[in-house]
Amino acid sequence: MSYLILVRHGQSTWNLENRFTGWVDVDLNENGKAQANKAGELIKEKQINIDLYYSSFQLRAKNTMKIIQGKLNDYKNSKSAWQLNERHYGSLTGLNKDEMKQKLGEDKVHQFRRSWDLRPDPLDKSSSYHPLNIDTYKDIPVDKVPDTESLKDTYERVIKFYIEEIETNFKNKNILISAHGNSIRALCKYLFNLDNNEISKLEIPTGNPLLIKFDSDNKILNCEYLDTERAKDLLVY
């Protein structure tokens, strides 16, 4: 038996401002830090020993994980992977979601946010928001740095990494992944075998650990959000 814990980072400064964030490397706000602290407390109550920690390259995910590790008094080495980064929102990056609804219409913005294979227009490479101009990503091969992504694009990079680097290490180990709304949505699509329509409906709350229990054959037994007051519909189980 083993456990996989998926945690979307706590609320970030741009979450609060309702902006398309993507690969811009913003940090947690005070509420996000409080959410991460509570996540750590809830995991600690389960008395699960975490064997492996993974996060994206992004500060909001890394710092969520650090806060959780502090609550668990467990500072073993973790692995950061750009493949677990949030979806790149292209030319929408930095824009306010409500303002874009007024400009483009609510249906169009919903399509950009939730459709399976629709990409926003590419972000200009000269933009300060482009990953090529953000120091966090300087070691990522240039040909791997996106200008824009669909959820399908995000799924493909996340799941390739998960299968090759995490799933192979999963046998009888407990793993925690601190990542983002769309990278965790991609993992849920893969793990729960959701179709393209179901994945568009899946909401991932910030800073709320999703605990997934596996049997000895790596089959899912059950799953639950640990903060029941802020749980979202998993569409399964």
Provide DSSP, 115-164.
Answer: -SSPPPPPPPTTSTTSGGG-GGGTTS-GGG--S---HHHHHHHHHHHIII
| Residue 130 annotated as catalytic | no
**Cβ(178)–Cβ(61) below 8 Å:** yes
Beta bridge pairs of residue 171: none
**Active-site residue among 9, 88, 130, 180?**
9
Name which of 210, 208, 190 is nearest 199 in CA terms. Answer: 190
**Active-site residue among 17, 45, 86, 99?**
86
Would you say how long the chain is, in residues?
A: 237
- In angstroms, the CA 160 to CA 155 distance is 8
The phi and psi torsions of 69 (rounded to 5 degrees) equal: -60, -35
| Residue 9 annotated as catalytic | yes
Name which of 153, 189, 118, 160 is nearest 23 in CA terms. Answer: 153
The phi and psi torsions of 167 (rounded to 5 degrees) equal: -60, -35
Residues noted as catalytic: 9, 86
